[in-house]
A and B are shown apart, each in its own frame.
Chain A
Amino acid sequence: MTLQLILLIGFCGAIITYFAGKILPVLREIFAVAISLLLVGMIVYAYGRYSQEIAQFGFLNFKIVFTLNRLSWLFAIIISSLSALSIIFSLSYMKGKERQDFFYMMMLFVSTSMLGIVFSGTFLQLFIFWEIMSWSTFLLISYSKGKAVKAGLKYITMSIIGSMAMLVAVISLYLKFGTLEISVISQNIDIASLRYLSCIFGLLFLGFGVKAAVVPLHTWLPDAHSEAPSPFSAILSGILIKMGIYGFILMMYMVVGIKIFMTLGVGWMKFHYVFAWLGVISILIPSFIAILQNDAKRLLAWSSVGQIGYIIVGISMGTGLGFLGGTFHIFSHAVFKGLLFLTIASVEYRTRTRDLDQLGGLIKKMPITFLGGLIGVMGLIGIPLTNGFISKWLIYKSLFESNRMFLLLFSLIGTWAAILYGYKILHNVFLGQLPEKYRNMKREPVFMQIPIIILSLTVILSGIFPGIILKLINNIAFSFGLESLNVNMWGVVSETGTLNIRNIFFGILAAIALVSIIFYSAKRSWKVSQDDNYAAGAFVPVEKYNYTVEFYAPLYKMIRKYLKDVIDIFYCWIAGLVDALCNGIRKIYTGDIGTYVGYILFFLAFLIIIYLRG
């Protein structure tokens, strides 16, 4: 009953929140936070109680089964806690905005439907919750109006296409296996031919891939993530795109099994191979595109595509280490990308802009936000002692061990790009010169500080003690029949020293100590105010002296011409084509009654001809 109860509480809570808001705004906020925290609590409570529940009533003739296993628990906890933090964050962020009842309702709706996805024991439920997630997300993406409207339409169009493909796959699974229960299908997977499974994978790739924003299907993401309300962007980037990954993991490891999966494909085009390459492309190009962005959220959005690439590369390796890395990256990306989006949101909340050319120097004004941003960027880049380091390290290691040098190389290049854009966002927002207009800015409200602090601590703590989560993931991997690795509190132990944070931790502490000793003992500089802008005695106007504009200008010149989003242009072209076609089609209704009568006669004649000929 617990799982159904969780979902029930989520959905009903969403609706209650809406109506509570009609009565009293405070009531709504209390409800929203309470329900999201309650969900977190229930999921924490459910830890270790892995079970399968068959629902009392079916859907059509299908059984409804809810399952909780380690994998879904991991996802559930990420979903529920990140959305709880986002909702807490929204308490301040959404203040004074219109239609808040709706916003909170949809936030709860989206997160509960994602919980529904991970608790699904049958593909049917998976699809149902998937669709609920799609449309509720759509309603939130367009929330801010303006450009968001177009972004929402783009999102939902791709999303529908994806889910239609998924629907076909689901139904064909049903016809093949006579059931949609995931556990039953995975037991009987042998009766399906490889060709059939490849087709299914192709279809599901469309379905899951759109949500996961793998490269040819990513075009909705930059628009949607940047235009959505910021707390929701955190959810979008942090967990929603992971739902696609969840689907992939489910299919690859749980349903089909990794052994069969590695043999899937057409000829030499093995599926996992294609998949890994798509992952690498997702790392490489979007990361460079991200450098070019001047909208902070758009930059982060492109970076999300890149980070998803790491996850995909990791899980498509089919080794224990790769799985460990990929899945850990799901967690770490959720945390640090959520953190970054919230950071930007709190900057945006105070400054009313997220244009990187106009911001700068906010370090003094919002120190906690800066700290959050710093830690987030460190995680993003993968600096040791953050969780991003752990996952990326593991992924590189697995690539290395699987002898995929090209993949490794391209992933590393992607990381350089990550460093560049990570620094760009950090610098352009927080460092440098403070624009004049923000001189009297207040600090961020407390409800924004709490989630940022919690997430920052998570990034650091899970970077120092990765074992807590690695152990769980290792168990998941073991249950999928992958090789079990020796995981302890500090990392993965093996003869070659796969990952040992203890050494790194102390090493880095020592290095920091060393650097600071040198830095302070060899101090030759003096402090200068940023506004000490004298150029040969002449006073330089403050506004113009803002070097955040055209950051990395030479680099832009070099790479810009290669980095058009060709795929997006292609899709838009197709959309235009369809549009024109539709406009043409409706011209058959000419408005002339004689023509219409002609149609009727034609139809009759057509039927008669059919008969006379056959």
Chain B
Amino acid sequence: MVSTVWQNPVLLIVVPLGLAFFTPIIGLIRKELVKYIPILGMLFNLTLSLFLLPKVLDNPIIVSLSGWKPPFAINLFVGPVGILFSILISLVGLLTAIYGINYIKKGAVEKYHMLFLLLLTGATGIVLTGDIFNLFVFFEILCISSYALVAYNQDKNGIEAATKYLIQGSLGSAFILLGIGFLYGLFGTLNMADIARNITTVDSPALFIAMALFITGFGVEAAIFPLNAWLPDAHSSAPSTISAILSGIAIHIGIYAIFRVLYTLFGFNSIFTVLAVIGIVTLLIGEMSAFRQENIKRVLAYSSMGQMGLIIFALSIGTVDGISGGLFQIITHTLSKSLLFLCVGYMVYSTNSMELSSLNGLGKRMPLISLLFTIGVFSLIGLPPFIGFPSKLSIILAGLKTGETLFLILIVLMLLATVIEGVYFFRIIQILYFKEPDKEERFKTPFTLLFPVIILGLLIVAIGIYPGLLQEILDRSAEIFWDKLSYIKIVFGG
């Protein structure tokens, strides 16, 4: 009994949560120790998730809480997708936490680390839970902690962005809660598998309205156009570690939530077409808005928006290939965008300015960071041999495989957006390398700042050269993600 307790996936949520709760007490003992708590928590999560991954690939694990069988108690659905996300969250979280040791110096440092850990916990909870209301609760954990963290710097922009984010985000959450109310009113249960089992018995506008509410609500976090106005503000104003987490994880969690709900609960086929179009529109708008930005973090934020559109498009293709491509793109974007934000964080920290012109000739002043930045950018554009290429390729492949004219048009538009993306990113590369620097002196980078970025860069290149590393896991995950019947079957134990 005791031996298997340590493998229980619930620990993925509970341990970081407990650590976060315990932080103030540790902070009383020694202030410096607090910095290492997120690292501890994420290290634990990473180990456990990696350990669980091979198991859940065969059979997803169902963990019921409080000792009652689903649907009577909340249950966790620990499938490959969940574990995949959990690995991503803990990996990026770990690296960002290491980065944060030296990066976060002023402000309420202790509280920052607590919120940081809680944000990641919320994200992990969302991807693991199998209960719609529980999902909402974790979603709120994620959202509220990110509102607070965006405002962490307490400067004008940060506060303003956080306020706007808060109003839009909580409006979204309100819609989700309303949607949950409708679902409960129709089915009298909150367990997703249970709802999914009964969903065919009801055919009513309430169902559709609930779905619309869910899409809108989660869409705010997932940055679907036109719900994404908070994104550029928040991502550009937050401390860079938080931008990395928000861009690398939080928005993907929103997407996960949308598609978990859509795939498992609803599954209106017509809405997928609409979402695919919306995804491409989001992509185009994001990339086009990024085109003329002069603020480096805003460029990255808008590009995140674009990438979200791409992922939404991939996931709404509605085939296993598409989902696999979408998941791949999520990994790409997580790795690349966190890499970019961490790099930029250091650049901004050193040059004290977010204007593109302040980056002139940084390639000479901080060669390694610039090199890694370049890798991240190339990967986002989708150039081989970086991770972005196989992911984009599989999306296009999946889209064209459907053979529908609509998808063909959308893919052409997507490629157009890639061109725009390429141009503005290449422009930044040129600014880094081919403009004369204002000063000659080189920056010394502390190891804690460099280490996470290097790891991310290596991952990007390694997976880019040999994507077979992920391929099977992704395909299997996509299958399980998509398959509603097996979800129900697994939850109710055959």
Task: Given the known inter-chain contacts A610-B274, A611-B208, please indicate yes or no for A582 contacting B213, CB distance below 8 A.
Answer: no
Contact between chains at B289 and A157 (CB < 8 Å): no
Contact between chains at B468 and A603 (CB < 8 Å): no
Q: Is A175 in the interface zone, CB < 8 Å from B?
A: yes
Restricting to A120-169, which residues have a CB under 8 Å from any CB of B?
A: 127-129, 131-132, 134-135, 138-139, 142-143, 145, 148-149, 152-153, 156-157, 160-161, 164-165, 167-168
Restricting to A574-614, which residues have a CB under 8 Å from any CB of B?
A: 578-579, 581-583, 585-586, 588-589, 593, 595-597, 599-600, 602-604, 607-608, 610-611, 614
User: Which of A57-65, A251-259, A499-507 interfaces with chain B?
Assistant: A57-65
Q: Is B153 in the interface zone, CB < 8 Å from A?
A: no
Q: Which of B205, B220, B302, B400 contacts A600 (CB 8 A)?
A: B220
Q: Which of A58, A61, A157, A586 contacts B419 (CB 8 A)?
A: A157
Contact between chains at A602 and B226 (CB < 8 Å): yes
| Complex interface: chain A residues within 8 A of B436 (CB) | 145
Task: Given the known inter-chain contacts A152-B434, A171-B400, A604-B216, please indicate yes or no for A586 contacting B393, CB distance below 8 A.
Answer: no
Q: Which of B171, B291, B434 contacts A149 (CB 8 A)?
A: B434
Q: Is A195 in the interface zone, CB < 8 Å from B?
A: no
Query: Across the two chains, which residue of chain A brings its CB closest to B416?
Result: A164
| Complex interface: chain A residues within 8 A of B242 (CB) | none
| Complex interface: chain B residues within 8 A of A578 (CB) | 291, 420
User: Which of B38-46, B71-79, B90-98, B383-391 interfaces with chain A?
Assistant: B383-391
Q: Is A99 in the interface zone, CB < 8 Å from B?
A: yes
A577–chain B nearest beta-carbon distance, Å: 12
Contact between chains at B285 and A171 (CB < 8 Å): no
Contact between chains at A599 and B418 (CB < 8 Å): no
Q: Is A494 in the interface zone, CB < 8 Å from B?
A: no
CA distance A106 to B394 in the complex (A): 28
Contact between chains at B418 and A164 (CB < 8 Å): yes
| Complex interface: chain A residues within 8 A of B406 (CB) | none
A98–chain B nearest beta-carbon distance, Å: 8
Query: Across the two chains, which residue of chain B brings its CB closest to A124?
Result: B393
Q: Is B411 in the interface zone, CB < 8 Å from A?
A: yes
Contact between chains at A168 and B434 (CB < 8 Å): no
Q: Is A516 in the interface zone, CB < 8 Å from B?
A: no
Q: How many residues of A contact B (CB 8 A)?
A: 58
- Binary interface profile of B, 426-440, with partner A (CB < 8 Å = 1, else 0)? 110110011110000
Contact between chains at B422 and A156 (CB < 8 Å): yes
Q: Is B467 in the interface zone, CB < 8 Å from A?
A: yes
Restricting to A515-561, which residues have a CB under 8 Å from any CB of B?
A: none
Contact between chains at A597 and B168 (CB < 8 Å): yes
CA distance A599 to B289 in the complex (A): 17
Q: Is A183 in the interface zone, CB < 8 Å from B?
A: no
| Chain B interface, DSSP helix/strand/loop, else mixed | helix
| Complex interface: chain B residues within 8 A of A604 (CB) | 175, 212-213, 216
Q: Is B266 in the interface zone, CB < 8 Å from A?
A: no
Q: Is A486 in the interface zone, CB < 8 Å from B?
A: no
B331–chain A nearest beta-carbon distance, Å: 14
Q: Is B401 in the interface zone, CB < 8 Å from A?
A: yes
Contact between chains at A603 and B216 (CB < 8 Å): yes
Q: Which of A59, A599, A608, A614 contacts B270 (CB 8 A)?
A: A614
Known: A157-B426, A581-B288. 16 other contacts (CB 8 A): A60-B471, A143-B434, A152-B426, A152-B434, A160-B423, A164-B416, A168-B412, A578-B291, A579-B291, A588-B289, A589-B229, A600-B172, A603-B216, A603-B224, A603-B226, A610-B274
11 contacts between A and B (CB under 8 A): A60-B393, A60-B468, A127-B384, A148-B434, A160-B418, A167-B415, A579-B291, A599-B226, A600-B227, A603-B224, A603-B226
- A interface list, Cβ under 8 A from B: 57-61, 98-99, 127-129, 131-132, 134-135, 138-139, 142-143, 145, 148-149, 152-153, 156-157, 160-161, 164-165, 167-168, 171-172, 174-175, 578-579, 581-583, 585-586, 588-589, 593, 595-597, 599-600, 602-604, 607-608, 610-611, 614
